[in-house]
Amino acid sequence: MTRKHQTLGEFIIENQTSFQYSSGELSKLINAIRLAAKVVNHEVNKAGLVDVIGAAGDTNIQGEDQQKLDVFANDKFISTLTNRDVVCGIASEEEDSFISINSNDEQHQNKYVVLIDPLDGSSNIDVNVSVGTIFSIYRRITPVGTPVQLEDFLQPGHQQVAAGYVVYGTSTMLVYTTGDGVNGFTLNPALGTFYLSHPNMQFPEDGKIYSVNEGNYVHFLQGVKDYIKYCQQEEGDRPYTSRYIGSLVSDFHRNMIKGGIYMYPKSSVTESGKLRLLYECNPMAFLAEQANGIAIGGKTRIMDIQPTELHQRVPFFCGSKNMVKKLQEFLAKYQ
């Protein structure tokens, strides 16, 4: 039974029977993510005091400049998940390819793979703006006892068994779902413990916030341009408020609590969109749908897209139901 202020550990134990594959492994995996998040949170909070801000001098597989905390967070999540012996494979936004992991007891006996964006919005670190971690969990589809394969990671989002994010902000929160609603846990830094603070999180069906990088407006498709103009018109409960942080975790988190829509469309500059299907869109779509929201890539439900590559990019729209449905009306005019 869900009780506000119970610890994340207590919540996992009390609710693991509602998970269809309940065997204790998923609980260990969530606990491993919790541990790594606490370490990364400690490092994020030292930014400015020690040499953890700024560029690391390398680029990732997407050709983006890596920040020092990108590298730290990536290493910390990979090492924690590997050492706790709970996964058979990891794919990270910061790595060229997936990582196959052997079990300590027997070869390749673990059943889960994790896909992770270790530090979403890391370019904001230098200016003390909230950043986050996004994770997605699947059961492997290749036989247990064999090395993990690419196909274990290239599963559509509706096959996810769990997904979530950590937001490192004015308070640090871990928000996740296993397909039975969305719950948020806030870290008590004095005790190092996450407590249930936001049970059964839900998107309001209507919202007044639209989140999009309007600096790219001239490059957007006409349907998106028309919807933005609709948001800006003074009519009824409009104009809506524009709020865009540039960190997917932070924008999503605010919109889920207050009601709103997040948009990162494709454009004449980014023909396929910019956000990664596996590391960002699928986990956020799972959370959105579990929280009474909608997530689409245009005409298509995000979680119905069949991935074709690890670092695939797609357009992404998600948020309050009525706002996304109104966007779909505008998009349909040009499809």
Q: How far apart are CA 112 and CA 125, in angstroms?
A: 31
Helix (H, G, I), strand (E, B) or coil at 58: strand
Confirm whether residue 280 is marked as ligand binding. Answer: yes
Confirm whether residue 123 is marked as ligand binding. Answer: yes
pLDDT by residue (tens digit) across 300-324? 999 999 999 999 999 999 999 999 9
Q: pLDDT tens string for the chain (335 positions)?
A: 566 779 998 998 888 776 666 567 888 899 999 999 999 998 877 755 444 444 544 555 555 555 678 888 999 999 999 988 889 999 999 999 999 998 655 566 889 999 999 999 877 777 778 899 999 999 999 998 889 999 999 999 999 999 999 999 889 999 999 999 999 999 998 999 999 999 999 999 999 999 999 999 999 999 999 999 999 999 999 999 999 999 999 999 999 999 999 999 999 888 899 999 999 999 999 999 999 999 999 989 999 999 999 999 999 999 999 999 999 999 999 87
Give the per-residue pLDDT at 57.
47
Which residue ranges form the domains of the chain, and what is each CATH number?
Answer: 8-198 (3.30.540.10), 209-332 (3.40.190.80)
Confirm whether residue 244 is marked as ligand binding. Answer: yes
For CA atoms 317, 318, 321, 323, give the dihedral sign: negative
Longest Cα separation, the chain = 64
Q: Which residue has the tokens 């070869």?
A: 107
Give the per-residue pLDDT at 50.
47
Residue 130 burial (CB count, 10 A): 22
Q: Taking the model in full, what pTM does it have?
A: 0.92
Give the per-residue pLDDT at 330.
96
Confirm whether residue 213 is marked as ligand binding. Answer: yes
Residue 182's contacts (CB-CB under 8 Å, 6 or more residues apart) are 175, 176, 200, 201, 202, 256, 287, 290, 291
Contact (CB, 8 A) for 196 and 1: no
Confirm whether residue 93 is marked as ligand binding. Answer: yes
Q: How far apart are CA 84 and CA 142, in angstroms?
A: 22
From residue 317, how far is each of 111, 185, 266 by CA, in Å?
Answer: 31, 25, 10
Contact (CB, 8 A) for 323 and 288: no
Confirm whether residue 121 is marked as ligand binding. Answer: yes
